[in-house]
Structure 1
Amino acid sequence: MSINDRTGDIAEITRITHLYARGLDRFDPKETLSAFSVDGAWDASAVGLTRYEGHEQLLDFFERDAEAVEKQFHIITNHVIDFQDDDNATGTNYVFSEAEMKNGAAIKAIALNTDRYVRTAEGWKIAERVITALTTPQMEGFDA
């Protein structure tokens, strides 16, 4: 199948990665969660955080994040998406994020998201996101 035949899938996958970021930046944990499959995973252990699996753990983390952060932004770009079949894909994208925590800490991270995507009844979702640093992250004081 050619890339042109996947244009809609690529747009939908790119959109869910942007919904993830928008949910974080609007302090809307449910919108952030909407990007993930029910059994989805978010793993930032490589940058000193932890791994969360399933909607319950993910929502708990996203709610704690929304409560702990004063201001933040995420820029997600440079998507490369490869399809294994009609319902499974992998991809990478870059994220640049800065935050001001309510505790006074300043956070900065430039990272690579390595994702697995799955097509569900609700559309494409992130099945797993593994975050690795591209530059030395400044995470001291991140308390979510």
Structure 2
Amino acid sequence: MLSADDRFALQDLVNRYPYHIDLWQVDAWVDLFVEDGVLDESALGMGVHSGRQGIAAYGAQLKADVLHVVHLMMNHLILESKADRASGSVFALVEADTRSSGQARYYIRYEDSYVRTASGWRFKKRSIFPLFPPQIISPA
């Protein structure tokens, strides 16, 4: 069973993810993953990004295309836990204004695998699943 401090640290990890990417703090965003972490956005057609280098390259690509973005996170649950590993789920509403597709809205669910490291809790894998089809609010 996780301690209250561990639960708070996992909640903090989940909240730092949108904070750093919405403010284009790509290095801090990438640091939330373990060295061989995986960001799987294949269910949205945005690929699988492996390792910190792959995730950083994807972050740079997003920064080049996305003009404005905001993630509104809600309903974070820790589903399973052991001493140094846990899994969780969180819902999000994401609004983005991009150069390529215009303004879009995404209702998504993150499915997470967390691992405790010497630097604290990190994402081992984060997979994203659409709850509704993406909405194009205004085309580019």
TM value normalised by structure 2? 0.91
Question: How is 1:59-98 mapped onto 2 (pairs within 5 angstroms)?
Answer: 59-98=56-95
Specify which of 44, 50, 53 is matched with residue 53 of structure 1.
Answer: 50
Structure 1 outlier segments of 4+, above 3 Å: none
Q: CA deviation at 1:103?
A: 4.0
Partner Cα distance (2:12, 2:18) in 1: 10
Q: CA deviation at 1:138?
A: 3.2
Partner Cα distance (2:80, 2:100) in 1: 42
| 1:26 corresponding residue in structure 2 | 23
| 1:129 corresponding residue in structure 2 | 126
Name the structure with the higher strand share: 2
Which letter does structure 2 place at the counterpart of 1:128?
Answer: K
Specify which of 126, 131, 135 is matched with residue 138 of structure 1.
Answer: 135
Cα deviations by residue, 1:30-84 (Å, 9 ceiling, x for unpaired):
1211211111111111111101110000000011111211111001111111343
Could you say what secondary structure the match of 1:16 adopts? Answer: helix
Could you say what secondary structure the match of 2:135 adopts? Answer: coil
Partner Cα distance (1:128, 1:102) in 2: 28
Identical amino acids, percent of aligned pairs: 26
Which letter does structure 2 place at the counterpart of 1:132?
Answer: F
Could you say what secondary structure the match of 1:27 adopts? Answer: coil
| 2:112 corresponding residue in structure 1 | 115
Q: CA deviation at 1:104?
A: 6.0
Query: In 1, are the aligned partners of 2:79 and 2:89 still within 8 Å (CA)?
Result: no
In structure 2, do the counterparts of structure 1 residues 69 and 93 end up closer, same or farther at CA, with 3 Å as the change threshold? same
Gaps of 5+ in 2: none
| 2:102 corresponding residue in structure 1 | 105
Cα RMSD after superposing both structures: 1.7
Gaps of 5+ in 1: 140-144
TM value normalised by structure 1? 0.88
- Name the count of aligned residue pairs: 137
